[in-house]
Amino acid sequence: MTPEDFVKGVYLEKKSLIDMYFNPKSKSDVSNLISTLHLNSEQTEALGQILNGALRDAFYSILLGLDGEANIGGWQELFKISDQGGNELSGGMIAVFAWEYFHNNKFEKDNQSKH
């Protein structure tokens, strides 16, 4: 696994959560709460943007914190993260890829160029 693979996986997890929250067949607590609001399409879109932004900021902040670029709960230090093969993922590259995926839309840009 590379630092980019790690960040991309976290990004896809965020994307999966948003999809689950707005899936009427989902049994998640968030999905159930959203369905009780009986929102129209404009309101649903606005709520989707709010949740996407909140999750983006949370996941991005944690990724930066793991890479020593931001604090987590008041502590700022570099964490050593490695995969099962011993490949180190931390050391500055998580922060670089986190920006690309969470703020520069790398995933969407890469998928558009494939089509």
Kindly state the average pLDDT of the residues 109-113. 72
Quick one: average pLDDT of 81-104?
Answer: 91
Q: pLDDT tens digits, residue range 51-80? A: 999 999 999 999 999 999 999 999 999 889
DSSP one-letter code for 92: S
Residue 74 structure tokens = 């008041």
Q: Is the C-alpha dihedral spanning 17, 104, 98, 9 positive or negative? A: positive
Element (H, E) at 8: helix 3-21
Checking if the pLDDT of 35 tops 70, the result is yes
Joined together, the tokens standing for residue 59 give 């996941």
CB neighbours of 54 closer than 8 A, spacing ≥ 6? none
